[in-house]
């Protein structure tokens, strides 16, 4: 073999080595390009958008997202929506009717309460080719068995997630955990503070740290979850506006109102007992007590920093604690609505 041939062969060998080294890089680039393309979400539909949270999510999507947003409601529903929103109607008990309505949608955000209705919605979403299903969580951390043990109605929510986990080859999901609705909770007194009577009901001394989220921020979080569809796939996503305690809230409202509020102390154990007894008799008015015992009780079951917040990863902006409280006390919500 001439030395020239040997050189040529060496050159070819080197070339092959470079190619072999480049292959994983090329594969990686291709894979990312490919996944980004398949996960591109364009059409989003909100199902059951008439309640407390729905209007805020809808507003956030219309104002702050690039998505084509529609709402799906029951045939007989009388809910009204902003004129720019396309309203789709379906029979929630019929997979066929739901599948027809969901054709062309890439993501479904469910605000539907009933677990059985959510399961039909999952089946219809799969049949319609929807990529991402966001089940009706938005509240307590139902991924924690200690939470579910205290609030048995959460078993339904857990069941929906478990069902989605069996369908991951066909559809992906994200469970968005927000803690109590912060501004709304102040507005209606759920956080234990009553602006009308300037009274505070503190649970277990008001010391438990909890995470809470303003309704507008929940809408923004959902937009980001869909924008980062690959990272947020098949996971619980924890977001919040603030971490605080009932005592800190009381100090803030007393500062804002310039008055001392009347305080009542209660124990979470009593709330669990009362709420549990009512619920056992089929009286759903026991649920708020169970939720409050959970959120503000000494076990601190609603502190989402334990699981790790996604706020930074999602690029959510910080909100004003004081302004959020002022809005809630005035019977309003924080952020543009
Ligand atoms: C926007 O959504 C509506 C309702 O689902 C649909 O009819 C329409 O084709 C969508 N627009 C685009 C550009 O995909």
pLDDT at 2 over 90: no
Which residue in 288, 285, 98 sits closest to 181, CA to CA?
288
- Note the pLDDT tens digit of each residue in 280-298: 999 999 999 999 999 999 9
C-beta 217 within 6 A of ligand 1: no
Which tokens go with 28? 């990686």
CA distance 299 to 27: 48
C-beta 247 within 6 A of ligand 1: no
C-beta 101 within 6 A of ligand 1: no
Contact 290, 279 (CB under 8 A): yes
Task: Please give the pLDDT value at position 93.
Answer: 94
Place of tokens 């800190």: 248
Task: Please give the pLDDT value at position 79.
Answer: 86
Contact 50, 73 (CB under 8 A): yes
CA distance 274 to 74: 35
- Note the pLDDT tens digit of each residue in 60-89: 999 999 999 999 999 888 888 999 999 999
User: Chain centroid to CA 255: how far?
Assistant: 31
> DSSP code of 152?
G
pLDDT at 11 over 80: no
- Note the pLDDT tens digit of each residue in 87-132: 999 999 999 999 999 999 999 999 999 999 999 999 999 999 999 9
More confident residue, 78 or 158: 158
CA distance 192 to 264: 10
In the chain, what are the domain boundaries?
Answer: 179-337
CA distance 324 to 191: 13
User: How crowded is residue 221: how many other Cβ atoms within 10 Å of its Cβ?
Assistant: 26
Contact 53, 218 (CB under 8 A): yes
C-beta 70 within 6 A of ligand 1: yes
Backbone angles phi, psi at 201, to 5 degrees: -110, 110
CA 106 / ligand 1 centre spacing (Å): 10
CA distance 241 to 183: 10
Which residue out of 41, 67, 68 has the highest number of ligand 1 atoms within 8 Å of its CB and is therefore the one to mutate? 68
Backbone angles phi, psi at 136, to 5 degrees: -75, 80
Average pLDDT, stretch 133-162? 96
Average pLDDT, stretch 194-205? 97
Q: In sequence order, which residues have a C-beta less than 8 Å from that of residue 38 and are 6 or more positions away?
A: 131
Which tokens go with 103? 């054709």
Three-state SS letters, 60-81: HHHHHCCCEEEEEEECCCCCCC
pTM listed for this prediction? 0.88
Three-state SS letters, 43-63: EEEEECCCCCCHHHHHHHHHH
Mean pLDDT of the chain: 92
Which residue out of 70, 89, 100, 101 has the highest number of ligand 1 atoms within 8 Å of its CB and is therefore the one to mutate? 70
Strands 172-177 and 132-134 come out as parallel
User: How crowded is residue 203: how many other Cβ atoms within 10 Å of its Cβ?
Assistant: 24
C-beta 194 within 6 A of ligand 1: no
pLDDT at 139 over 70: yes
CA distance 58 to 82: 9
> DSSP code of 140?
S
Report the atom number in ligand 1 closest to the C-alpha of 86: 4
Task: Please give the pLDDT value at position 126.
Answer: 98
> DSSP code of 213?
B
What is the percent of the chain where pLDDT is above 90?
83
> DSSP code of 136?
S
More confident residue, 182 or 76: 182
Average pLDDT, stretch 203-219? 98
Which region among 71-85, 165-179, 229-243, 270-284 has the lowest average model confidence (pLDDT)? 71-85
Per CATH, the architecture of 179-337 is what? Answer: Alpha-Beta Complex (3.90)
C-beta 68 within 6 A of ligand 1: yes
Contact 109, 46 (CB under 8 A): yes
CA distance 328 to 55: 17
């Amino acid at each position: 073999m001439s030395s020239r041939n040997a050189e040529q062969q060496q050159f070819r060998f080197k070339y092959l080595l470079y190619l072999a080294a480049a292959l994983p890089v090329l594969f990686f680039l291709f894979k990312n390009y490919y996944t980004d393309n398949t996960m591109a979400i364009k059409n989003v539909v909100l199902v059951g958008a008439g309640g407390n949270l729905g209007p805020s999510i809808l507003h956030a999507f219309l104002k702050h997202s690039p998505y084509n947003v529609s709402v799906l409601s029951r045939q007989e529903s009388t809910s009204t929506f902003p004129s720019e929103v396309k309203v789709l109607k379906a029979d929630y008990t019929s997979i066929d009717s739901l599948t027809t309505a969901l054709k062309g949608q890439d993501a479904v955000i469910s605000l539907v309460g009933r677990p059985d209705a959510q399961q039909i919605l999952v089946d219809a979403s799969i049949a319609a080719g929807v990529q991402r299903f966001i089940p009706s969580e938005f509240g307590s951390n139902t991924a924690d068995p200690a939470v579910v043990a205290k609030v048995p109605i959460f078993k339904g929510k857990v069941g929906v997630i478990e069902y989605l986990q069996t369908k991951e080859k066909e559809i992906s999901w994200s469970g968005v955990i927000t803690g109590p609705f912060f501004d709304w909770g102040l507005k209606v007194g759920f956080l234990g503070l009553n602006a009308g009577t300037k009274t505070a009901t503190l649970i277990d001394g008001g010391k438990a740290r909890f995470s809470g989220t303003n309704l507008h921020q929940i809408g923004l979080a959902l937009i980001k979850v869909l924008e980062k569809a690959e990272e947020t796939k098949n996971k619980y996503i924890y977001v919040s506006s603030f971490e605080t305690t009932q005592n800190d809230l009381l100090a803030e409202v007393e500062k804002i109102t310039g008055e001392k509020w009347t305080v009542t102390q209660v124990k979470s154990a009593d709330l669990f007992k009362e709420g549990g007894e009512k619920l056992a008799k089929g009286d759903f008015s026991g649920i708020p007590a169970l939720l409050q015992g959970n959120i503000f009780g000494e076990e601190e079951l609603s502190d989402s920093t334990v699981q790790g917040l996604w706020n930074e990863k999602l690029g959510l902006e910080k909100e004003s604690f004081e302004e959020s409280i002022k809005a809630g006390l005035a019977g309003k919500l924080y952020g543009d609505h």
